[in-house]
Structure 1
Amino acid sequence: MDVAIVTVGDELLAGDTENTNATWLARQLAERGATVTRMLTIPDDRALIARWVGEFADAFDAVIVTGGLGDTPDDVTVAAVADAFDRDLEVQPDVRERIAEKARQFREADPEYYEQHDFDLDLDETAALPAGARPIQTEESFNPGCVVENVYVFPGFPGELKVMFDSVADEFGGDAVSDAVETATPEGALKDVLDGARERFDVAVGSYPARRGEPGRVKVTGTDPAEVERAIEWVDERVADPE
């Protein structure tokens, strides 16, 4: 399963917010055997989001879009995904009712906040999703996520993202398996080993330099566990053991 990840937000590109969502999602997908083939960060630009979501939806098995869900003017992700599939936005009654109930609960829990901030929620705007989308709603999130064909739209808040992803995690999977060899061999001296493993085995091979006192690693990934094991053994015989 080849997956593309699109993270949306001006704050990510400005460096104001660390893009931990992309790293977390990639790790979750890899653990399930999926392969992340593209990772893209783009601003809160409706046309740009629509363009890349449309292209990636055609090119990959699944696309995950995170960020830009909300009720502020720069939250345009849902509308952009609708544009990517040439769909209108529509309000599903069940989604609207759930948002209204959450708003009521928040209001009862903190009435002073609502009074001080003159909170006036447009339920139709908050509940609007691309026509035909499958909504994803959790207790942690206010704005709904959704699935449109092979595109999954999640919020940008890490806590909300993780819970929402977990609710559909079983829909992601694949045959990719990985293993790694720790080594003291400098990354610059690994070229022959990396090239040799790629030539001899049907696997992808990558090197990760040592950092913070930890040894370097050579990582082997493939779809045949036995082939990955053979490649790992071959690599392990040709690199220096970590001290």
Structure 2
Amino acid sequence: MDAALLTVGDELLAGDIENTNATWIARQLADRGVTLARIAVVPDEVSVIADYVRSFSDQFDAVVVTGGLGGTPDDLTMDGVAAAFDRPLVVDEAAVADIERTVEAVRDEYPDLDLDVERHASIPEGARPLLNTDGLSPGCVAENVYVVPGIPREMKAMFAQFADEFAGDRVTRTLETSMVEGEVTPMLQDAREELPAVSLGSYPSRGAEHNRIKITAADERHLDEAEAWLREHVAIVDEEE
């Protein structure tokens, strides 16, 4: 399963907010064996969002989009997704009921809260709603595109609703080496020729005793072959050492 991730927000491009959503989602997909082939950051512009969503949807099995959902002027993620599929935004009644329950629950704390409920509850026509258990505005699934909020707490809760729909056959294994990156680089270059069925990454661990080599493959057999080759040519350090 090949996937792409689109993170939306002017604040991300300006460096005002760290893009922790991208790191978290990438890790979740990798843990499920999914190959994350693209990560892109785009501004709060409907046409740009639509272009990327349309392109990614055509190229990959699934797309995760995370960004502002709701009623503020810069919450344009859902508009962009709707434009990508040439669909209108329509009010989802299940989302309306959910938002109204949420608002009523906090009414005493926020008596002056005034929301455009229909705007918050609008998703592309024909999309499957994803109710927001930790916030207000719903996400949705439109075609092969999964739209979730930009607020990390809300995003993680919503991701759990469809996480089982993401599964792939990619497996990984991480080894540690006492060799510095400059020493291990020639071996890894040879490994790429000897082990075409795997991909290898070398990751210096600043401040740690050992550096890491990550092996990625389609099955455990290729991982075993790669590990055996590396143990023969590279100084691998086992945990008990």
TM-score interval, smaller chain: over 0.9
Which of 172, 183, 207 aligns to 1:212? It is: 207
Partners in 1 of 2:21 and 2:58 — Cα distance? 23
Output the aligned Cα RMSD: 1.4
Which residues in structure 2 correspond to 1:79-228 (within 5 Å)?
Answer: 79-108=79-108, 110=109, 113-115=110-112, 119-201=113-195, 202-228=197-223
Shift of 1:142: 1.0
Partners in 2 of 1:183 and 1:128 — Cα distance? 52
Partners in 1 of 2:117 and 2:90 — Cα distance? 12
Partners in 2 of 1:214 and 1:20 — Cα distance? 27
Partners in 2 of 1:241 and 1:90 — Cα distance? 57
Letter in 2 for 1:50: A
Partners in 2 of 1:176 and 1:15 — Cα distance? 32
Letter in 2 for 1:126: H
Q: Give the fraction of aligned pairs with identical amino acids, expressed as a percent.
A: 50
Equivalent position SS for 2:68? coil
Partners in 2 of 1:138 and 1:10 — Cα distance? 23
The answer to whether 1:71 aligns with 2:86 is: no
Partners in 1 of 2:176 and 2:142 — Cα distance? 41
Quote the residue 1:57 is aligned against. Answer: 57
The answer to whether 1:230 aligns with 2:217 is: no
Shift of 1:196: 2.2
Shift of 1:68: 1.4
Partners in 2 of 1:214 and 1:89 — Cα distance? 54
Shift of 1:88: 0.5
Partners in 1 of 2:103 and 2:202 — Cα distance? 49
Partners in 1 of 2:190 and 2:226 — Cα distance? 10
Partners in 2 of 1:200 and 1:141 — Cα distance? 51
Letter in 2 for 1:63: V
TM-score by length of structure 2 reads: 0.94
How many correspondences in the alignment? 237
